Chain A
Amino acid sequence: MKFRMIRFHKFNAFMNMAIDEAIMEAIRRGVSLPTIRFYGWTPSAISIGFFQGLLNEVNLDACHQAGVDVVRRLTGGGAVYHDSDGEVTYSIFGPVGIFPPKILDSYRVICSDILFALQSIGIQASFEPINDLIVDGKKISGNAQTRRNGVLLQHGTILYKVDVEKMFSLLNVSKEKVSDKLISSVKKRVTSINAYSPAPIQDLIEAMEKGFSRNREIIFEDYTPEELDRAQQLAVQKYSTNAWVGMR
C-alpha cells in the first residue's frame, strides 16, 4: 500500500487538528493518498479528548497565563500537554479497510511501528492496551483513533522531554484516575525519551519516519494547497471556536 509521508513541521493547535480533518476529507474523496504526517505544536497546547469536559480537565487561567492554546480533538481519549519543544506527534490516515477491523487490533498494529522506532534509538517500550506505550511502567506515548466516513485517523504523541510540573499545572487531574493506579502521584506515571536516551529530537523524528515506513511504500510529499486551504477554514470556523472547544 502506497502512503504519502509528510515531514515534521510545527503548526498551532487549531491548524494541527484542522489539518487532520482536512486530510480525512481528502482521502474520503479519493484525492489524497493514505498519509502519515509528523508535526509539532507552536505555541505549546493542551488537546482534550472529544468527550472530555473542558472545565473538568483544563486549568484555563493557567493556560492563558502560560500562553498555552487549548483545542478539542476529533478523537476520544484523555487530555494531553503538547510542549512546543518536548514532543513529536504523528497522524496516520487511510481507508478503514487497510487497517485491522477491530479497533484494539489496529491500535496494536499501528503502535508496533512506534515501538520499532523507539527500539532503534535504544528505548524498550511496550504496548499497554487500550492505547498507551509504556517504559518501565510509565507512559511515554498516548494514542487515539477515530473512524469517520470510511477513513481511519490515528494520532498520538511521543514525549521527548517533559516538564511534569508545568504539565500538571495546566491540567486538572482527577483523584479517581490516580487512585486506580495505586500510586501516590500521577506525575510518576509519565516519562520521556530524554530520560532514557541522549538522542536529539531529530533522531526521534527520523526513527519515527523509518518505523512508519516498514511494510509500506512511502512517497515523501507535502500537504496539498487544497488541504491547507480547507484546514485554514476549519481552524477558523471550527477548531478555534468556543462552540467546539467548550462543546462539553
Chain B
Amino acid sequence: MSDPVKTGSSIKKIAGGKLIRVDVVYSGQIERVKITGDFFLHPEELITVIEESLAGAEIPLSKGLLVEHLEAVLKNNNATVIGFSPEDLISVLADAIK
C-alpha cells in the first residue's frame, strides 16, 4: 500500500536575511514543492527548476545531499541567492514535512 499524500508548510524569517516559505506535497517522497518569500534569486526563473529538482527526494530527507544538490544547481546556473542559504531552505523544507 502506498503512503498517504500529505501537505505541509513552514515559514521562517532568516536572521539577517529574508523570509522563506515552503509548501510541500509529499507521500513517501516529495511530490511537489513551492518556495515563496521576499528573497532574491538571480536569475529569477531558476526558482521553478529548483522546485522541480526537489520532487522525488525520499523521506526522511537526506539533508546533506539535498544541500549539495542545491549548491550544484545554483553553481551550474551561475545563480545568486540573496536572503537565504541552501541549508536554510532545506531546513525549512524539512520543517514543512514534520
On A, residues with C-beta under 8 Å from B are: 49-53, 56, 74-79, 103-104, 130-131, 144-148, 174, 176-177, 179-180, 248
Contact = CB atoms under 8 A, between A and B. Distances in A.
A176 B34 CA distance: 18
B19 interface: yes
A49 B82 CA distance: 13
23 contacts: A49-B38, A51-B35, A51-B38, A51-B41, A53-B21, A56-B21, A74-B44, A75-B44, A77-B38, A77-B40, A103-B80, A104-B82, A145-B40, A146-B42, A147-B42, A147-B43, A174-B13, A174-B19, A177-B13, A177-B19, A179-B13, A180-B13, A180-B15
B38 A76 contact: yes
Contacts of B17: 130
B19 to A, nearest CB: 5
Interface residues of B, number: 23
Nearest to A179: B13
Contacts, number: 66
A24 B41 CA distance: 18
B8 interface: no
Contacts of A180: 13, 15
A146 B44 contact: yes
Contacts of A104: 82
Contacts of A74: 44
Interface of B: 11-13, 15, 17-19, 21, 34-44, 47, 80, 82-83
A74 B42 CA distance: 11
A50 B21 contact: no
B44 A176 contact: no
Contacts of A147: 42-43
Q: Which of A75, A179, A248 has the most CB of B within 10 A?
A: A248
A103 B34 CA distance: 25
B18 A130 contact: yes
Given A51-B36, A51-B37, A51-B47, A130 B82 contact: yes
A175 to B, nearest CB: 9
A72 to B, nearest CB: 11
Contact of B13 (A49, A53, A79, A176): A176
Given A77-B40, A78-B38, A176 B19 contact: yes
Nearest to A104: B82
B17 to A, nearest CB: 8
Given A130-B40, A176-B19, 12 more contacts: A53-B34, A53-B36, A75-B44, A76-B38, A76-B41, A76-B44, A76-B83, A79-B38, A147-B43, A174-B11, A174-B19, A177-B13
Nearest to A129: B16
Contacts of A146: 42, 44
A166 B94 CA distance: 36
Q: Which 8 A-B pairs have the closest CB atoms?
A: A78-B38, A76-B40, A53-B36, A180-B13, A176-B13, A177-B13, A50-B44, A177-B19
